Structure 1
Amino acid sequence: MLKSDFRFSTPLRVRWSEADPQGIVFNGHYLNYVDVGVTEYYRALRAAAGAQPGEGLDGSEFFAAKTVLEYKAPALFDDLLDVHMRVAYFGNSSMRFVAAIYRGDELLLSGEVVYVHADQTTRRPTPIPDSFKQNVTTFECVAPEQAAPAVQG
């Protein structure tokens, strides 16, 4: 996993409450760190697209469906981390974020989060709007892979 594959990263400092008595971050907090990365990614994406706060909320939402984290080395209390995020794949109604957390040049964690685009009321999957896919593709330095279109028969 190369840092250069990520256009976006956000800094995060490890807080005392996230570490055990030896000063090592408890593994469950890394998912929170990735979630902060996703939130900040969306903020940066919306700003890059010229969107105002609250604009574009259309009754649909992305819901987390799968998370995979691979721990490489521990973060410690007061470490300054860089949470790197990118959208690596689009399906019809799903997308996959790739995450990497670094302390300086040391990779501490890699992972992915799969989200499904769905109606907020029914929670049924809905296609990801092409405009969203285009904004992400323009924002990224490595274009997300896309599922092949379904064959009509």
Structure 2
Amino acid sequence: MAEYPLKVRWGDTDAASIVFYPNFYKWMDEATHEYFSAIGFPTSNLYSEQQIATPLLEANCQFKSPLVFEDNVIVRSTVVEMRQKVFKISHKFYKGEILVAEGYEVRAWTSFKEKAKAYPIPDEVREKMIPGNAETVMS
């Protein structure tokens, strides 16, 4: 699991003074990049050195409690499912001990050396991504 702390900024809120929902998707994306840095594979290095990226295939988020300007939030990210070329990463948003939102992203391990093409996730990356609770699917 990786943790990504953030503070709600004025520009993150809508006319009702609560966080505008697309920001949760932006934060999930940022948390995924932080996750890869935390396990030793910063996405900027993956792309600059190997032309590897993890494009988004699917995203979902459920909102449980509103966030407002200057709230401090922790996003906890964990890989919960892994296939040969695709993985699902869960993101849980906490304000203190309160779960305010939870979502996930499905992403593909993709080479951009020529035409974009999904490739098997390398073993050295896979080993760092698979937590004890992940469902490993080799299809």
Q: TM-score, normalised by structure 2?
A: 0.88
User: Percent same amino acid at aligned positions?
Assistant: 21
2:16 equivalent to 1:25: no
Q: How far apart, CA to CA, are the structure 1 residues paired with 2:53 and 2:119?
A: 9
2:126 equivalent to 1:133: yes
Match of 2:35 in 1: 41
Contact 2:46 2:53 in 1 (8 A): no
Q: Which amino acid aligns with 1:110?
A: E
Match of 2:6 in 1: 12
- Give the CA deviation at 1:73: 1.0
Q: Which structure: larger Rg?
A: 1
Q: Aligned runs of 1:26-105 on 2, under 5 Å? A: 26-46=20-40, 54=45, 57-105=49-97
Q: TM-score, normalised by structure 1?
A: 0.80
Contact 2:46 2:52 in 1 (8 A): no
Q: Which runs of 5+ in 1 are unaligned?
A: 1-6
Equivalent residue pairs, number: 136
C-alpha distance after superposition, 1:76-97 (max 9, x if no partner): 1100000110111110110000
C-alpha distance after superposition, 1:21-69 (max 9, x if no partner): 332011111111111211111111117xxx8x83793232211100011
Q: Which runs of 5+ in 2 are unaligned?
A: none
